[in-house]
């Protein structure tokens, strides 16, 4: 039985790979893809998401465009990491494939799929949680039918990647994290301190795509060039973290998770310098009143890479 999922994405280079992975993994049934502002403006996210969907069989997938601003009506993007189009500035090369799918509105689409699917749906959120929070605010009763929200975000006892402490998705909309964590829906967090243990190196991609020679492999080689150049410049490694593909792989193969902890989630929403920071305790015992979430603390990296390569870079028969 395939796991019915909704992907909520801020495509994004790693989101685009996560989307391809989700569409190809036999364990998942992607019912809808909703877009949210994050890496780039939601208009760009939506165009790029539909371009990626055009590379695979997308007949059964609905697309919904979501929020252009956070719950607090702020905007924050990362074009220096993902390119101005969110696809490493290579979307124009693949635009011809763009899926001709009607663009619905994200929040009504999420609620419609959750309400009408005959089994409970999992939401894989690889961007800021704005759309999910808005869906909770609109109809918490329906949203409580969601089986699990798997969210790539946050950073626990580790560095941030947006400022010294905050992870990007939770920095962009910390209020949305708090709304979703308090909604009474099982929330599993795939944090930065785990996703930064799965860096993909340029030479791997080049070698794999040369052997695989599939459309998808060629796209991944193209789309990651800008993203990997960014890390070469800023972290002196020629590669890029597979944050969002890891979240998708965990939804498909829960056995990838080797250790998970139930922890109180404190999300900083007011800090001048620390907004978006995730903590599990503070000096005043605030954790006693905090929502408890599941935080992944260990994964099987070798098995992840095996699934990643086999699915996205299949060798010709």
C-alpha distances in angstroms, 21 versus 14, 178, 190, 220, 306? 10, 28, 17, 11, 13
The listed partner (ligand RIB, Ca ion, none) that binds 161, CB under 5 to 8 Å by sort, is ligand RIB
Instruction: Please say which residue, 212 or 277, places its beta carbon nearer to ligand RIB.
Output: 277
- Residue 233 CB contacts under 8 Å (≥ 6 apart), including other chains: none
Return the number of the residue (4 or 128) whose C-beta is nearest Ca ion.
Answer: 128
Cα–chain-centroid distance for residue 127? 5
Q: How far is the CB of 191 from Ca ion (least distance, A)?
A: 13
In three-state secondary structure terms, 225 is helix
Distance CA 200, CA 80 (A): 19
Residue 209 has phi, psi (to 5 degrees) of -70, -30
Torsion from C-alpha of 239, 243, 248, 253, nearest 10 degrees: 80
Stretch that binds Ca ion, among 4-12, 24-32, 44-52, 204-212 (CB under 5 A): 4-12
Q: What's the min distance (Å) between Cβ of 38 and ligand RIB?
A: 5
Q: Rounded to an integer, what distance in angstroms lies between the CA atom of residue 130 and that of residue 121?
A: 18
Here's the x/- map for Ca ion, 99-128, by CB under 5 A: it reads as ---------------------------xx-
> With respect to ligand RIB, which residue has the nearer C-beta, 216 or 240?
240
Which parts of the chain fold into alpha helices (H)? Answer: 13-24, 42-53, 79-82, 91-94, 106-116, 130-138, 140-143, 168-172, 174-181, 192-195, 202-212, 215-235, 243-252, 301-312
277 binds Ca ion (CB under 5 A): no
Shortest distance in whole angstroms from residue 183 CB to ligand RIB:
21
Asked if 196 is part of the footprint of Ca ion (rule: CB under 5 A), the reply reads no
DSSP-based three-state secondary structure for 158: coil
Question: Is the Cβ–Cβ distance between 78 and 168 less than 8 Å?
Answer: yes
Smallest separation (angstroms) from Ca ion to the CB of 289: 30
Q: Which residue has the tokens 């305790």?
A: 281
Nearer to Ca ion by Cβ, of 16 and 212: the residue is 16
Q: How far is the CB of 118 from ligand RIB (least distance, A)?
A: 30
- Name which of 126 and 294 has its Cβ closer to ligand RIB: 126
Query: Is residue 178 near Ca ion by the rule CB under 5 A?
Result: no
Minimum separation from the CB atom of position 299 to ligand RIB (A): 16
Binding positions for ligand RIB, rule: CB under 6 A: 10, 12, 14-15, 38-39, 126-127, 152, 161, 167-169, 192, 243-244
Positions in 227-266 near Ca ion (CB under 5 A): 244
The least CB distance from residue 281 to ligand RIB, in Å, is 23
Q: Which residues bind Ca ion (CB under 5 A)?
A: 10, 12, 15, 126-127, 244
């Amino acid at each position: 039985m395939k796991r019915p999922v909704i992907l909520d994405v801020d495509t994004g280079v790693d989101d685009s790979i996560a989307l391809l992975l989700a569409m190809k993994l036999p364990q998942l049934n992607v019912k809808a893809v909703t877009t949210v502002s994050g890496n780039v403006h939601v208009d760009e996210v939506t165009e790029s998401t539909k371009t990626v969907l055009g590379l695979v069989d997308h007949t059964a997938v609905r697309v919904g465009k979501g929020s252009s601003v956070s719950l607090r009506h702020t905007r924050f993007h990362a074009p220096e990491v993902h390119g101005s189009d969110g696809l490493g500035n290579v979307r124009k090369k693949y635009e011809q494939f763009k899926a001709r799918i009607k663009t619905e509105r994200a929040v009504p689409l999420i609620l419609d799929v959750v309400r009408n699917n005959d089994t409970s749906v999992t939401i894989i959120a690889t961007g800021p949680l704005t759309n999910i929070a808005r869906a909770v605010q609109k109809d918490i009763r329906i949203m409580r039918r969601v089986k699990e929200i798997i969210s790539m975000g946050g950073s626990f006892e580790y560095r941030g990647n947006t400022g010294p402490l905050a992870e990007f998705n939770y920095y962009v909309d910390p209020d949305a994290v708090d709304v979703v964590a308090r909604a009474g829906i099982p929330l599993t967090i795939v944090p930065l301190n785990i996703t930064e243990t799965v860096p993909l190196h340029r030479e791997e991609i080049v070698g794999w795509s040369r052997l695989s020679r599939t459309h998808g492999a060629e796209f991944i080689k193209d789309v990651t060039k800008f993203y990997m150049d960014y890390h070469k410049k800023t972290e002196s490694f020629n590669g890029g973290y597979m944050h969002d593909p890891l979240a998708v792989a965990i939804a498909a193969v829960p056995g990838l998770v080797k250790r998970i902890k139930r922890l109180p989630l404190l999300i900083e929403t007011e800090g001048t310098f620390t907004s978006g920071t995730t903590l599990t305790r503070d000096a005043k015992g605030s954790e006693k009143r905090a929502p408890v979430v599941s935080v992944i603390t260990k994964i099987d990296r070798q098995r992840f890479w095996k699934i990643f390569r086999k699915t996205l870079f299949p060798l010709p028969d």
